Amino acid sequence: MDYMERALSLARLALGNASPNPAVGAVIVRDGAIIAEGYTQPPGSAHAEVEALGQAGDGARGATMYVTLEPCCHFGRTPPCSEAIIESGIAEVHIATLDPNPQVSGRGKEELERRGIKALLGEHEEEARQLNEAYIKFITTGLPFITAKFAISLDGKIATRTGDSRWISGEESRKCVHQLRREVDAIMVGVNTVLSDDPQLTARGMDGQPLERQPLRIIVDSEARTPSTARLFGERGRTMVATTSAAPRAKVGELQEVGAEVMEFLSREGQVDLEQLLRELGSREIISVMIEGGSTLLASFFEQGLVDKAIVFIAPMIIGGRRAKMAVAGEGAERIAHALRLGRVKVERLGDDAMISGYLGG
């Protein structure tokens, strides 16, 4: 059995719930069998290593631990995991990747080795880093990791000329979107998406019901055109409307009355300054944001170089039409050589749809 693979699968269970901490999984093995396992609990609660050690009890003495991220060695919301490992009597620790947090970054591994525990590094390192790509960006830059997500037809449309878009993607793709929503801290859309689609923007479980924990919903709306009757205001979770000084005070008041947090940002050519918005989200320890439309907002993020990852669902249909909506608006590239290209591309099949994902900026 690949014990680090098991630890990674546990870590995935913590995505979203562990933020702003990294999502970590830990497995303790003795005599070729797993005796305990754990994953990061919500902030202020036990980390993966401590969860697993609590299960193992005295059985941890002389055993081997597999953990997806270097154990922390400093006091934060909880005591250091490295000290708990040392006190447990664990004999050997396999670490997938080092923690880029400047307070840790190799020190956790060194502490284990200094206390006589064998520490091995690098098993499934790429997978471990990808799993915590949002944490890695946030802890090194203070900014959230930005994913652009959209669904298109084979001819690149997101809706018909009348605005009808339900549903371009198939059921399996839509289930995947709810899983993606479960894993991020915030979902962002432009006001035109709210006006045209009136989305709920919720993360739902396999039964179709909204989950207890919902990502923050962010509407980028420079003039506060979002209607106070929008369906998303009736959903579980919090909503922020990012606006500018151009927003009428009366409209701001209406949105606040239905529970929205309305926050004013600088104006950049009549639009919300996205860089300032992202800095504000980072200051709130929001480490991951998924942009779900519309085409104007997506264009702004791409053009300003603010997107880290793109996830595109492609449905096997042809919509056609000069006036049918496209996924990314804006001016676009003048030459193919100037077009944005994805790296580390993955292609997956979801029902009849294809899902293409990849990274921008290297």
Helix, strand, coil tally for the chain in percent (to 5): 30, 25, 45
Provide the pairing of β-strand 288-291 with 186-190: parallel
Closest by Cα among 246, 287, 249 to 134 = 287
Catalytic residue among 49, 51, 123, 183: 49
Residue 126 is a catalytic residue? no
Cβ contacts of 69 within 8 Å, gap of 6 or more? 11, 22, 24, 95, 96, 97, 98, 99, 128, 132
Cβ contacts of 238 within 8 Å, gap of 6 or more? 214, 216, 217, 259, 261
Buried b (16+ CB within 10 A) or exposed e, 108-141: bbebbeeeebebeeebbeeebbebbbbbbbbbee
Place of tokens 């880093």: 129
Cβ contacts of 159 within 8 Å, gap of 6 or more? 165, 168, 196, 319, 324, 325
CA distance 143 to 304: 15
Tell me how far CA of residue 78 lies from CA of 102, 120, 141, in angstroms. 17, 24, 23
- Residue 289 in contact with residue 145, Cβ under 8 Å? yes
CA distance 360 to 166: 29
- Residue 48 in contact with residue 11, Cβ under 8 Å? yes
Q: How many CB atoms lie within 10 A of CB 100?
A: 19
Which positions are catalytic? 49
